[in-house]
Amino acid sequence: MATRRIVTDPNGQLKAFAYLTADKASVYRAIMRVFIEAKERFSIHLRPSEVRSALPELGGFDEGFSVDVELEALRGWGNLVAHPDTAVVTTVEDFYKNRYLYQLTPEGESAERAVQTYLEAIGQRGALQATALSDIRELLVELEQSISTDEIDEGKAHRALQSLSTRFDELTKRAQVFMGSLQRTIDLHGKDVEDFLKYKEALIEYLERFIQDLVNSTFDIQKALERIEAADVERLLNAVAERDLVDILTPTASDRRLILNSWRSRWQGLRSWFIGDFSNPSQAEVLRALARSSIPALLATVANINETRLARSDRRADLRTLALWFAQTDNDGDAHRLWRTAFGLTPARHLRIDSESIEAREIAPVSPHTSWLAAPPLKISPRLRQTGRHPGHRVVSAVIDRSLEKRRLAELAEHEAEQLAAARQRIAIDRQVRISDMGTLEPLEFSLFLDLLGEALSRKIDSGDVVQTSSSDGSLEIMLSPVPDAATATLVTTHGRFSGPDHFVTFRDIVNHSNASKTGAVTAASAVPARE
């Protein structure tokens, strides 16, 4: 297929966009919208009278308005193409009149749709779409069902993956817009105290609800993505690509490669958004961190508002008032006097001088109003002139011996490390035990137990799920499973009693277990006799 030549003016500008900066840009845009709407109704050609009758519906046009000149201008820029109109000829005179049917060119349609996309993009409101997360999770379930069969239903898989891609793109774009404008929105609402306080409560609730939905949905989406990849996602993408090739007249190997690579890129983008690693966190984790960091920003703005309300004035108000005073001065002299009064930085009497200069000034005082040109010179130290420091003799401060405090801190750190190691040995027994059978826990043991239990419960969706995860530092492995009798466990601590649903728990020390395995392997290797 031949490539269309892009029409430009002598300056290299695209002529298809010239109607946006012309004198009657609003009229040209209205005409282009008429043609776009007509094409959506499958009306290919329009007569000038039809264009004229459609314009009042858009507003701003009187009864005597004619569109012939504007249509010809759009035709000259390449937005429209004209064909002779012979359908309404009834007389010889009508035959010799210039009558045309106008049609959108590909350049004109692309230009107007680009403008519409631009206006929609800048007018789009940002949002954190929890419903999109739910839709993505359900669409992944449909893809799992499609890939689990021996023969993939190409139509069903294509619809699900296309909807998934669209929903994911919308989630990403709306979240980017929301997070990008969040700080600016906070600043704007900070001007009105009552409105901002209402906005603050709504925003914090909105962020907390989205963070909770994001945490719950991300885990399910991660597992669904991993299951689909384990079931051969490449087969799914090939089936979807074949579905796209059906609509091409004469598909080539290059067409198939481009379409397949496009679907691979979309899938990889979806995967990286929800699944990350230690070096490259997922975009879901980044979004959750940004959403959480917005709450302290709100609280900081509340603190600034309270400080402004309690104080009689703030620095910004003072500077604005001072700037107004400067603007109201009549001449430069008044401005200079205002500067000296406000800041007091003009005199240089703060310089330190030697004793001889001080004695000379005591004998013959010099008024502060004396010009520097008429006053006797000041004798200052050469070092003060060169380095800005006076060569004064100062007593060197004695060095304080902090060795005792450092030794005490080291002992406390060692003692705390020993207690933590003992608590880990007490908790990580590498066998399944009921929470109700764990007995009395020391404060450090109980604190470690709460951290591990909270990490496991944050991964749990349903009450009957078996959860296996690791601690935040990756040194302990946690397995949590429900008990069949659904009893209540109560732990006795020095701070009181801790009660909750009973579970089977297994805490396993990954680091010590790995080191023990390596030591055992080395010992076994050294026990093997060498061959002669």
pLDDT band for position 253 (cuts 50, 70, 90): confident
**Top-tier CATH class for 15-121:** mainly alpha
Residue 190 has pLDDT above 70, yes or no: no
- The structure tokens listed for 191 are 């001007």
pLDDT band for position 465 (cuts 50, 70, 90): confident
Q: DSSP string spanning 128-179?
A: --HHHHHHHHHHHHHHHHHHTSSS--HHHHHHHHHHHHHHHHHHHHHHHHHH
User: To the nearest whole number, what is the mean pLDDT of the chain?
Assistant: 76
How many residues are there in the chain?
532
- pLDDT for res 531: 40
Per-residue buried b or exposed e for 42-78, using 16+ beta carbons within 10 Å of the residue's own CB: eeebbbbeebbebbeeeeebeeeeebeebbebbbebb
Q: Whole-angstrom Cα distance, residue 91 to residue 151?
A: 66
- pLDDT for res 326: 92
pLDDT by residue (tens digit) across 81-97?
888 776 666 666 666 66
CB–CB of 354/375 below 8 Å? no
Helix (H, G, I), strand (E, B), or coil: what is residue 488?
Answer: strand
Per-range mean pLDDT, top range of 383-387, 424-428, 500-504, 520-524: 500-504
Residue position matching structure tokens 């005792």: 404
Residue 325 has pLDDT above 90, yes or no: yes
Domain boundaries, the chain: 15-121, 126-300, 427-518
Residue 520 has pLDDT above 60, yes or no: no
Q: Whole-angstrom Cα distance, residue 445 to residue 452?
A: 11
Q: Whole-angstrom Cα distance, residue 177 to residue 154?
A: 34
C-beta atoms surrounding 482 within 10 Å: 17
| Residue 530: partners with Cβ closer than 8 Å, 6 or more residues away | none
Q: Whole-angstrom Cα distance, residue 502 to residue 438?
A: 11
Question: What is the architecture, at CATH level 2, of domain 126-300?
Answer: Up-down Bundle (1.20)
CA atoms within 13 A on the CB side of 513: 13
Strand partners, 485: none
Percent of residues, the chain, with pLDDT higher than 70:
75
DSSP one-letter code for 126: P
